[in-house]
Chain A
């Protein structure tokens, strides 16, 4: 034991010195420790804290926050199986029992003794090829019983997850540095994001313009944020610019955590240069020298590839010093990996995480444009927003505005999954109707779909004539389609479980309210609900929406509220006529108590 500990201490010191002892390295340090030891135990946390000169509680606080950091090992190697609506449609429930059988482990109950541990994880961004799982950062897609069996056999024999399969996906997924079985499934290319281009065009065009002219062009394009909230991009940059500061930062939000979206994954695979050029455009406008891409842990399989792209861009003088031959235009990009937390996609939580802390949302205001990364003005944009910005510089605001509708310029890249014949990525002009999209994807007989993931709305076929646009149905792009046989309230229930899981727990309405809503929904689904439960849920939903600190709480009631709105007949059909039915079976509560206390 003592020897083991000492070895561990040596290793920890090595890990820490690889990164540095400043606080913002903590995230990378604990990630490396998790990789090296299969967990970050109390002893490891203590050793890290000592080496960094901080309190152990700070290390444990970070470890306990993120899904892929654990205090105890969960199997010698762990399969993280993705759960959610798309996995359910593609048979993850049956797969669960297969996996438990072949591994002999149990989900959520795996420990150090299990050769192969089993854990759930929220959507890993593979909804178009579910069931899917992560093993040591390696993505396994389209898992059926056979594949599950051979994967487990491979792992039990000590096989490297990377060597499990030689199968590779389409496009650059088969390139040396990615080599993953992931498929892009690009079903429809639009002009803007997936249009043909030559790497560097945006930057070459950029340096011929004044920064203020670049900003005007972006403003004129009416480009709005593609991450969900739809804030005008040019205005955000303008606010950021107006805050006097020695340093400004550009952050690319590649956390893509909304269940059902995967378009950023495809963009990062096929068009990483475009994304990085978009960051350089922002850097040029804001006179920022440093850009950070926050990449979700689930996309770690792209990390090396992206680093290599960055290197190539530096070699081509598209990043680094005096970019494209322009004196004084210095801009470089680093990549920060996450560790599994949906809320880290929220911009201020993302900043906390990038600073090496627990990714808890900050109070806003102040907004990142004035107090962002390290307290400096920071512009945070989604992967797709930045890509569009680069294209706007290449081709002009007027060209950009020639796509889409008056209030929603450009195209939107949608992630389509669920009960459709052609799941994948569709770049469409804003303004298309849900029905048109369903026709393209082969999902005409759908009875419902999710627009914008769990945090968006579940709509019925009555709404299929509505348009995807900021003036009608805004969406970050998660479109999950539900066929005629789907159980809509089961889906709402699954979405609520997602929010229970992902709430950071800081605000009581969000932490407790999501559970209360879910329990009432379950009560109704069990046929024990009353009209008063519906009123209670609507009121509670309003409290959660109005009293939460960040956007997660703001939208966490949507699965319930939107189904009450759009599928009231489903609820009504399940209600009992009684005035009040307790949520619990109180006779059972008495019985359990009596049994445990040995009452006769």
Chain B
């Protein structure tokens, strides 16, 4: 038996909602694991990323760790997908882009009404924060964008099936990309 294609996922600056929706494919997950092996992903806790066919990215790029993870995914995945609005556009975390970083940090860690003896975190063990939050495609080449906050389980399912089928043109039916 040939090896099954591998799929890895990562959550960068996101809320895990996209990953929760991935699980919402319900019992189809059983057919999915017949079809693929999961590589590094928050849902299986594998730590090392191997070579994969598909990488799904939730969330935008907000700190140096996000940046490294995303670059590594790009190196190791043949097809990289921005999943959800945070990945495709920065989403909610990118709201901080309208306020200069210094003010954001000062409000959060020094001047906020609930802060006592605040300090702006600068422990070298922590990932350092970027000046702004970036959508993934401004950092690495992204092959597909799947919009939605979160995208529906059905559309994630459809996209995975398509990508694994090796077909040429993806046309999601209207119901799967309609958001109101």
Contact = CB atoms under 8 A, between A and B. Distances in A.
B29 interface: no
Given A589-B132, A590-B67, A599 B124 contact: yes
B120 interface: yes
B15 interface: no
Interface in A577-595: 579-580, 582-584, 586, 588-590, 592-594
A597 interface: yes
B139 A596 contact: no
B122 A600 contact: yes
A593 B141 contact: no
Interface string A283-303: 000000000000000000000
A596 B141 contact: no
B128 A580 contact: no
B130 interface: yes
Contacts of A594: 128
Contacts of A589: 130-132, 134
A530 to B, nearest CB: 9
Nearest to B62: A593
B139 A593 contact: no
A580 B138 contact: no
A64 interface: no
Nearest to A594: B128
A583 B124 CA distance: 28
B105 interface: yes
B83 to A, nearest CB: 19
Nearest to A580: B141
Contacts of B63: 593
Contacts, number: 53
Which residue among A590, A593, A598, A600 has the maximum number of chain B CB atoms within 10 Å of its CB? A593
Interface residues of A, number: 18
Contacts of A586: 67, 130, 134, 139
Interface in B120-168: 120-122, 124, 128-132, 134, 138-141
Given A532-B141, A582-B140, A584-B138, A600 B129 contact: no
Interface in A206-220: none
B130 A590 contact: yes
Contact of A584 (B64, B121, B134): B134
B47 interface: no
B101 interface: yes
Given A579-B141, A590-B67, A596 B122 contact: no
A596 B134 CA distance: 18
A532 to B, nearest CB: 7
Given A589-B131, A590-B130, A597 B138 contact: no
B178 interface: no
B122 A593 contact: no
B131 A592 contact: yes
Nearest to B131: A592
A138 B130 CA distance: 47
Given A584-B134, A596-B102, A590 B128 contact: yes
A597 B141 contact: no
Interface in A190-236: none
Contacts of A597: 101, 105, 120-122, 128-129
A589 B131 CA distance: 5
A2 B134 CA distance: 48
Nearest to B71: A586
Given A584-B138, A586-B139, A593-B101, A599 B128 contact: yes
Given A580-B140, A583-B138, A586-B139, A596 B67 contact: no
A588 B101 CA distance: 14
Interface string A223-254: 00000000000000000000000000000000
A599 B122 CA distance: 5
Contacts of A600: 122, 124
Given A532-B141, A580-B141, A582-B140, A592 B67 contact: no
A154 to B, nearest CB: 38
A590 B141 CA distance: 19
A329 B109 CA distance: 73
A596 B67 CA distance: 18
B64 A596 contact: no
A224 to B, nearest CB: 39
Interface in B16-74: 63-64, 67
Interface string B92-124: 000000000110010000000000000011101
Interface of A: 532, 579-580, 582-584, 586, 588-590, 592-594, 596-600
Given A588-B131, A596-B105, A597-B121, 13 more contacts: A582-B138, A584-B138, A586-B67, A586-B130, A586-B134, A589-B131, A590-B64, A590-B128, A592-B131, A594-B128, A597-B120, A598-B120, A599-B124
